[in-house]
């Protein structure tokens, strides 16, 4: 089985962007990555929307579906598009990011979860693009984008002051970019740049009541 049409759409997308199938493949991967931020709609769901189950069951069921998909892929029973070569024999990045999203929404306070999930969904593709182009854009553009997104989440959803939200946003952006940069063998950057700043901010919030 396969979850693609042999790359025809991605080849068309690459041509529309003035390139080739590789450009289309990379662009489609970036788009899917950004769309993962849609998981944050979880916070807008009415209570017990799924057959009367607690809403916490929804991300757990989604994670179980991702795990089943990965099991089929790793056993060679399913083809999934837009994977990089190094993902062939290990869990794919989307599985790591799915795990990071589920842990974030279940364990972190809402402002922190929104900040780190939104930051990774949008900033990781940006970091990949600007790093590939070279020059002075990396790491400043990813860092600035992450800081702005984190500040918007922390300031609008948290109960702390604007200066505190700004400081926490800068801290989380620095951590996220620091853990995104290295090439990990079995630890994906999507997992690291979501959970590491999320854990740090959550520990700070627990240590300093009223921080958020």
Q: Please state the rounded mean pLDDT for residues 23-46.
A: 94
85 DSSP 8-state letter: G
Task: Look at residue 96 in the predicted model and tell me its pLDDT.
Answer: 93
pLDDT in tens, 101-131: 999 999 999 999 999 999 999 999 999 899 8
Residues of the domain holding 125: 8-207
Q: Over 90: is that where the pLDDT of 7 sits?
A: no
Measured CA to CA in angstroms, residue 202 lies from 10, 113, 161, 172, 193 at distances of: 39, 9, 16, 11, 14
- Domain total in the chain: 1
Q: Over 70: is that where the pLDDT of 185 sits?
A: no
Calpha distance 144→191 (Å, rounded):
20
Q: Over 70: is that where the pLDDT of 147 sits?
A: yes
pLDDT in tens, 63-104: 999 999 999 998 888 888 778 877 777 888 999 999 999 999
Residue 124 lies in a domain: yes
Q: Over 90: is that where the pLDDT of 132 sits?
A: no
Return the H-helix or E-strand segment holding 194.
Answer: helix 189-207
Residue 212 lies in a domain: no
pTM of the model: 0.93
Residue 69 lies in a domain: yes
Q: Over 80: is that where the pLDDT of 3 sits?
A: no
């Amino acid at each position: 089985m396969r979850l693609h049409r042999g790359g025809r759409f991605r080849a068309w997308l690459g041509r529309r962007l003035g390139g080739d199938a590789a450009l289309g493949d990379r662009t489609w991967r970036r788009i899917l990555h950004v769309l993962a931020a849609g998981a944050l709609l979880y916070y807008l769901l009415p209570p017990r929307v799924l057959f009367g189950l607690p809403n916490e069951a929804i991300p757990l069921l989604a994670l179980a579906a991702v795990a089943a998909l990965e099991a089929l892929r790793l056993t060679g029973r399913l083809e999934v598009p837009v994977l990089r070569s190094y993902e062939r024999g290990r869990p794919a990045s989307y599985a790591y990011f799915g795990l990071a999203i589920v842990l974030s929404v279940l364990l972190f306070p809402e402002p922190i979860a929104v900040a780190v999930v939104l930051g990774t969904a949008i900033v990781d593709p940006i970091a990949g693009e600007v790093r590939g182009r070279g020059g002075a854009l990396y790491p400043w553009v990813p860092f600035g984008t992450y800081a702005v997104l984190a500040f918007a989440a922390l300031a609008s959803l948290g109960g702390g002051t604007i200066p505190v939200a700004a400081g926490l946003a800068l801290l989380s952006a620095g951590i996220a970019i620091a853990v995104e940069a290295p090439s990990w063998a079995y630890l994906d950057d999507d997992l690291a740049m979501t959970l590491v700043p999320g854990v740090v901010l959550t520990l700070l919030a627990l240590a300093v009541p009223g921080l958020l």
